[in-house]
């Protein structure tokens, strides 16, 4: 039983009330979430639920605040329902018709006991992660190289990641209309899809720095 994941139909919530009492306060379709607050474990590590993808939205907002001189049009989109089919990204990509797309998401930080060296994806504290490939996307080589160049020129700590399972909104952007050069910039995160997701403050900061510098210099490159 430990190795067999339970099915959704096997779960129920017992609130200690009779059916007619429950129906007065809960309706079919009401959302359920776990009561979990943000916490700083130390001066570098933070934990909370739903960093996937609240931290991506945070990086996006902070990037917009920090950009100084920019010579390209920027469309910042907080997409919905990425986890169930990239739905928000599909709609917004068709609407915006971007020339280039960068998804901001989390990636697996696998630096925990029991992970084999060949299974490592990213490590907390080793910088923002430039995605090379996932199950939806092979990142555009020109974007990847430009991100690397910008990071190295500005001494921004980064690592690269390859995800054999899962994907990001870059997959929807890439397939939009006649095709769009796309890539994902990721924030390394431990325990993804749990209520104790964990990030490193410096990885978040480096993600903001790299995204800001990328946008400030994007006009210099043809993708």
Tens digits of per-residue pLDDT, 78-135?
A: 999 999 989 999 999 999 999 999 999 999 999 999 999 888 999 999 999 999 999 9
Catalytic residue, from 40, 62, 82, 118: name it: 82
pLDDT of residue 109: 97
Supply the angle between the helices 51-66 and 201-217 in degrees, to the nearest 10: 50
pLDDT of residue 215: 98
- Please indicate whether residue 62 is annotated as part of the active site: no
Residues in CB range of 114: below 8 A, 6 or more apart: none
**Which residues does residue 19 pair with via DSSP β-bridges, in sequence order?**
none
Residue 14 CB neighbours (<10 A)? 5
Domain with residues 34-220, CATH architecture:
3-Layer(aba) Sandwich (3.40)
What is the DSSP secondary-structure string of 49-109? S-HHHHHHHHHHHHHHHH--S--S-------S-GGGTSHHHHHHHHHH--SSEEEEEEEEB
Domain assignments of the chain as residue spans, ordered by start: 34-220
* Dihedral-angle region of residue 57 (phi above 0 means left; psi in -120 to 50 means alpha; beta otherwise): alpha
Question: What is the pTM (predicted TM-score) of this model?
Answer: 0.91
Is residue 31 over pLDDT 90? no
């Amino acid at each position: 039983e430990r190795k067999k994941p339970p099915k959704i139909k096997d779960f129920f919530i017992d609130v200690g009330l009779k059916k007619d009492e429950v129906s007065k306060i809960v309706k079919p379709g009401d959302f359920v979430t776990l009561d979990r607050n943000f916490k700083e474990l130390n001066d570098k590590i933070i934990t909370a639920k739903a960093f996937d993808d609240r931290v991506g939205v945070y990086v996006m907002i902070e990037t917009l605040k920090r950009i100084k001189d920019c010579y390209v049009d920027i469309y910042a989109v907080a997409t919905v329902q990425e986890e169930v089919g990239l739905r928000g990204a599909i709609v917004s990509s068709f609407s915006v018709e971007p020339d280039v797309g960068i998804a901001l998401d989390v990636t697996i930080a696998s630096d925990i006991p029991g992970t084999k060296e060949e299974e490592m994806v990213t490590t907390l504290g080793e910088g923002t992660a430039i995605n090379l490939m996932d199950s939806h996307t092979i990142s555009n080589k020109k974007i990847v190289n430009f991100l690397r160049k910008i990071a190295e020129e500005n001494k921004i700590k980064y690592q690269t990641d390859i995800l054999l399972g899962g994907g990001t909104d870059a997959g929807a952007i890439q397939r939009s209309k006649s095709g769009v050069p796309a890539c994902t910039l990721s924030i390394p995160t431990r325990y993804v899809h749990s209520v104790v997701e964990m990030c490193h403050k410096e990885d978040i900061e480096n993600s903001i720095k790299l995204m800001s510098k990328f946008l400030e210099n994007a006009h210099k490159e043809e993708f």
